[in-house]
Amino acid sequence: MANFTKLTTESELPPINEAKEFPCGDKLICVANVNGEISAMENVCLHRGGPLGQGVISKGKVVCPWHGWEWDPKTGEAQAPGAKVAVYTVKIENGDVMIEL
């Protein structure tokens, strides 16, 4: 059975083609809104630890603000071979954004 936790409210989600950070327990989550589709993934870039939720969306990818690594918010994969961050299931219920960690 899935165990979802409230991450934020729907009104706090990033605008279309933007990303934003949200605290969840002891970690930060990067939420990306790519063309109206909401995705959630680990917030830490594997290259140098940059905050992905402070990056921009370009061509459907979250771009790390520190060194430009691009991450697919649906799969968590970067352009570097083998580089992948965790991706989390997101659902919206009654205006609440729920995440499965």
Q: Where are the domains of the chain?
A: 4-100
User: What pLDDT does 18 receive?
Assistant: 98
In angstroms, the CA 34 to CA 39 distance is 8
Query: What is the CB neighbour count within 10 angstroms for residue 72?
Result: 19
Local confidence band at 79 (pLDDT 50, 70, 90 cut-offs) = confident
Q: What is the pTM of this model?
A: 0.95
Q: Is the pLDDT of residue 1 over 70?
A: no
Region 79-83: mean pLDDT is: 88
Measured in Å, how far apart are the chain's first and last C-alpha atoms? 12
Region 7-21: mean pLDDT is: 98
Using a 10 angstrom Cβ sphere, with 0-12 exposed, 13-18 middle and 19 or more buried, the burial of residue 4 is middle
Q: What percent of the chain has pLDDT over 70?
A: 99
User: What pLDDT does 101 receive?
Assistant: 87
Looking at domain 4-100, does it have CATH number 2.102.10.10? yes
